[in-house]
Amino acid sequence: MHPSSRTIRILADVVDVLVIALIAFALFGVILGRVLPALGHPVFVVGGPSMGPVMTPGDAIVLEQVEPARLVAGDVVSLQTGPARAVYTHRIIRIAERDGQIWVETKGDANALADPSITPASAVIGRVTGVVPVAGYLLALLSVPVGVIFVLATGALLIALGWCLDGIEADRRRLAYRAGVAAIVAAPVAPHVARQRTAQRRRTTAAAGRSGRTVRVRG
């Protein structure tokens, strides 16, 4: 059973919406992962549950660069410390000064205890200004070649599907138009028209008989 014209139109509309959504997500990922860092707002992906429920794994966080002297208790900051230069994001619970330098004590909101050591404020990468739920998965997808290829292939597939549906709908309209024209051509002549044509043939034949000419009658 062939799908109806309405069904094809609905499917085409759904495909169009999916294409627009895919383009919007891709642009959003580019802005979040490329444009904002280029403007001085580093973006990181939350990898652990220590800051729940404010941040959960897979969320993307946007930072702003901040001077150590402007840090205050309650700020959520991302720091890079240790020999491996690991990055973690915790809340400042205390600010201290040692040998003329500012140090911060941090703690994860979901942790029972503060972090084991205080950290120099110079290790702070930035202060969290925004949290984008689950956007980290999009950034992770667009950060690898396979992910980019997947997004491009999905977009191409949706566009091709939209073209196919539009082509099917156009073919259905052409066939419907041709069927309508054929029905009009093949439609039986109305009775009164038939009577008029018969009377006209008789009059023409009679006139031809009186004049002795042969007349071809159409109709």
For the stretch 175-208, pLDDT in tens is: 777 777 677 666 554 565 556 666 676 776 666 5
Q: Residue 159 falls within a domain, yes or no?
A: yes
Q: Residue 136 falls within a domain, yes or no?
A: no
Q: Residue 196 falls within a domain, yes or no?
A: yes
Domain count, the chain: 3
Query: What is the arithmetic mean of pLDDT over 122-133?
Result: 96
Same domain, 12 and 63: no
Same domain, 182 and 197: no
Same domain, 58 and 92: yes
Which pLDDT band holds residue 99 (cuts at 50, 70, 90)? confident
- Phi, psi for residue 130 in degrees, rounded to 5: -160, 150
Q: Residue 137 falls within a domain, yes or no?
A: no
Q: What is the CATH number for 61?
A: 2.10.109.10
Same domain, 181 and 194: no
Same domain, 50 and 107: yes
Same domain, 103 and 181: no
Residue 9's pLDDT is what?
Answer: 84
Residue 49's pLDDT is what?
Answer: 95
pLDDT at 211 over 80: no
Query: What is the arithmetic mean of pLDDT over 97-104?
Result: 91
The answer for residues whose C-beta is within 8 angstroms of residue 102's C-beta and 6 or more apart is 68, 69, 71, 95, 96, 120, 121
Q: Residue 80 falls within a domain, yes or no?
A: yes
pLDDT at 217 over 60: no
DSSP character for 48? S
Which range has the worst mean pLDDT, 85-89, 141-145, 168-172? Answer: 168-172
Helix (H, G, I), strand (E, B) or coil at 111: coil
Which pLDDT band holds residue 169 (cuts at 50, 70, 90)? confident
Q: Residue 115 falls within a domain, yes or no?
A: yes
Which pLDDT band holds residue 91 (cuts at 50, 70, 90)? very high
Same domain, 30 and 53: no
Neighbours of 128 (CB within 10 A): 19
Residue 192's pLDDT is what?
Answer: 59
In percent, the amount of the chain with pLDDT more than 90 equals 63
Residue 191's pLDDT is what?
Answer: 61
Tokens of 140: 């992770």
Q: Residue 83 falls within a domain, yes or no?
A: yes
Give yes or no for a contact between 63 and 76, defined as CB atoms under 8 angstroms apart.
no
Indicate whether this model's pTM tops 0.85. no
Domain carrying residue 169:
1-39+144-187
Same domain, 181 and 169: yes
Same domain, 183 and 197: no
Q: Residue 67 falls within a domain, yes or no?
A: yes
Same domain, 17 and 66: no
Same domain, 70 and 52: yes
Same domain, 113 and 152: no
Closest CA to 76 of 40, 33, 125: 125
pLDDT at 1 over 60: no
CA neighbours closer than 13 Å in the CB half-sphere of residue 160: 6
User: What residues does 14 pair with on adjacent strands?
Assistant: none
